[in-house]
Amino acid sequence: MKKWVLIGLISLFGTRASAQVLVGGVNINEKDITYCQLIGSNRSGGLSTTRIWIDYGQPRFAATPFNQPAISGPDGVAIDFPTVMAALNFMTRNGWELVSWQLASDKEGGEGRFVYLLRKRGNQTSQDQGR
């Protein structure tokens, strides 16, 4: 019985340790951060697929089409998300949970951007623990 409990614990921690979200080559699951923002817009009209950015507090972050750090999985290959929701599902599968969201538009009121505030699972703030 003790053997199975030990195997279960090793599996649990091994799975958590292997979760990787690489943003510009940096595994944000290993960074000392609690929150990040997933920012994205679904493109239409036959143009390229969805544009996704992750702001985890990195230096010189700018959500522009010309400055998109590649988001990649454990194999290091950049992921081309078909929709913003696919990117959100990727993040939840890799150790993040949704805290809140909003829809923002550019200055001209055109293209809408989805902005999701995510928290690393297991990281609770003192405010959360008081609930």
pTM (predicted TM-score): 0.70
* Residue range 59-96, pLDDT digits in tens: 776 655 555 667 887 787 888 888 899 999 999 999 99
- Spacing of C-alpha 86 from chain mean position: 11
Q: Which of 111, 38, 115 is nearest to 69 (CA)?
A: 38
HSE value, Cβ hemisphere, 13 Å, CA-based, for 8: 5
Q: What are phi and psi of 129, to 5 degrees?
A: -70, -20
* pLDDT computed for residue 121 by the predictor: 92
Per-residue pLDDT tens digits for 18-41: 578 998 888 999 999 999 999 988
Asked whether 117 and 99 are in contact (CB, 8 A), the reply is yes
> pLDDT, tens digit, for every residue of 38-58?
998 877 665 566 888 899 988
